[in-house]
Amino acid sequence: MANSGFPLMPKYRKILAGMGENIKLARLRRKLSAEQVALRAGISRPTLVSIEKGVDTVSMGSYFMVLHVLRLDEDFLLLAKDDVLGRRLQDLQLLTKQRAPKK
């Protein structure tokens, strides 16, 4: 895999590692082998292993296909669903006062 050139901060590496661990646990709960999931997702087994380790160079499409195979693709829709900061910024913009037109 190609290196993205942008190193992730440790906090974000930890988040990806946790996500990979959750995917691995979901696979094991379903009693599916890594080979089976990789084949059904259309990726290689080493790519699946990288996903389960939370490697940051794996494409989002590969993550999505694995979640689809595990029937967790609805979880993908929860990403950035509740954009609290964006809504606050939008609300602040709506409350700005406008100047009266010049005569």
- Give pLDDT tens digits for 16-64: 999 999 999 999 999 999 999 999 999 999 999 999 999 999 999 999 9
Question: How confident is the model over 56-65, as pLDDT tens digits?
Answer: 999 999 999 9
Alpha carbon 94 to chain centroid, angstroms: 31
Sort 23 into a burial class: Cβ within 10 Å, 0-12 / 13-18 / 19+. Answer: buried
60 assigned to some structural domain? yes
End-to-end CA distance of the chain: 63
What's the total number of domains in the chain?
A: 1
Q: What is the CA radius of gyration of the chain?
A: 20
4 assigned to some structural domain? no
86 assigned to some structural domain? yes
* Rounded Cα gap, residues 75 and 64, in angstroms: 10
The CATH number for 55's domain is 1.10.260.40
| Structural domain that includes position 40 | 10-94
